[in-house]
Structures are given as structure tokens and as C-alpha cells.
Amino acid sequence: MIRAPHTVLLVAAAVACLCKPSPSLFTGPRPITSQPESVNTRPVTADLVKIREALGIALVNDMYLDRPYISPETAQPCGNPDGVGRPAFSHVHSIFEAGQKGPLLGRPGFWIRQTNATMVLSFHDGCPLQLYRILSDGELHTEIVGSPLTSPSFRPTTVLRSGELVTLESLCADRATLVSFVTVPAWNPRLREELDPTKMAAEYPQHAQLISRLASPEFNADQGPLFSTSDTVAAPEGAAEATGDGQ
């Protein structure tokens, strides 16, 4: 199992100024509503069940999540000392099902954009995930989040910056994935924008082939990178136009 590096503390210091603890803003672990059955079209695998039971993960708003930790300290943009503070950071574990496309279960091809927050995505165990991000200029970047023991080009941790459009794809038809998210300042669902495949194709016609493939329900990921030991990772079909490394 891969442990997340200490990137989180550096990101927290760079994104926000920490203030004194504010008991009124401390929410602690949030209650969750359990929905034991998957809404995805693929079968629930044994590893998914084991991870859910071990960590107390449940299906919440189309995502598998455990009880998030919300920082008792508040933060506000360093250049805006009079602004309203938010909890400094949040942490939550999440599971991606085998063959899942997109961050939302049962809605393949959806993309999300988090505003006013930076997210640190860390891989812990299971199947690697193909990450796609579209920057403000429309440029598409890809990378694979997974164990470098599988391939030296896989990244155990990556940073998702505010304003980036992001989606993910499981590279396995038979293995789930355990990841975690640290969000600075703390994650706020009201600041998350969800874009469906139709809207994405209209706004980014240059990436229409990729958007269409990710919107299809069948498993069609390129599994070549799982068996490659080189430093160069082949892009899945539909992502040939991708450039850069996501930084």
C-alpha cells in the first residue's frame, strides 16, 4: 500500500493563511447516509466490499465516502484578511468501482470543477486511475494515478487546482481503487460544478472523441499502461491530443 507523501502540509501553507481555531466552524465528522447497493452497471467486487466495511465507507451523493475530517482551524486567502474564513482543510477516503468512468457513480462521462479550493488526490491501493484535466485555455492533460511499483510513470499523489475540469477512469474491469482527497480550504459541495457529456462536447469540441468515449457505459479503457515498465505512458483512445504532464 502506498502512503501519501507530506505534500498536503505544503499545499495548505501555500493556499491559505491559518487563523485561530473557531469552535463555531468546527463540524467534526459528518453523518452519512448509507446506500449499500452500487448504482453503477458493473458488479460490486469483493475488494470493494472489504474496503467499505473496513473504513465505514458508504455511498453519498453518487460517491463512495467515509466520514470526512474537517479541520477545527479556519483559513482565508492571504491577500484578503477581512474575508470570511473557512475550515482550513478536509480529508476523506473514497472508492472508485471497477470500470468506473467519471467521479460520479452511475453518471459516466461527467466532469467536475472545484472553485476556490485546491485538492490533493492520493492513491492508496487497487487499480490505477487515468486522470484527465482540462485547463482554462482548453488544453487537455493526462496522467495515471497509481503505484510507481506498477510503473515508474504512475504518480501516487497529484494536485487538482481550483478551476480545472477533471474526470477519472478506472483502468480495471475487476478491481476497485482506494484513494483519498485533502481539500484546502475544506471541501464545500456548493462550490463544485458538474458538467455532463453534452455540455462538455459543446464547450470543448476539440476533445469530442474522448468525451464521447468516457460517456459510454461499457468498459473500454486502454489497459496497456498496466503492463508497461517504461517511463512513457500510452494515452487511452480518444486522448491522443493530450499534451503535458498535468503540472
Sequence spans of domains, the chain: 7-227
**Cβ neighbourhood burial of 60 (10 Å; 0-12, 13-18, 19+):** buried
pTM of the prediction? 0.75
Q: How far is CA 68 from the centre of its chain?
A: 15
Distance CA 69, CA 108 (A): 28
Percent of residues, the chain, with pLDDT higher than 90? 52
pLDDT at position 78 is 57
Residue 35: how many other CB atoms lie within 10 Å: 14
CATH tag, 7-227: 2.60.120.10
Q: What's the pLDDT at 232?
A: 41
Interval 199-211: pLDDT, tens = 999 999 999 999 9
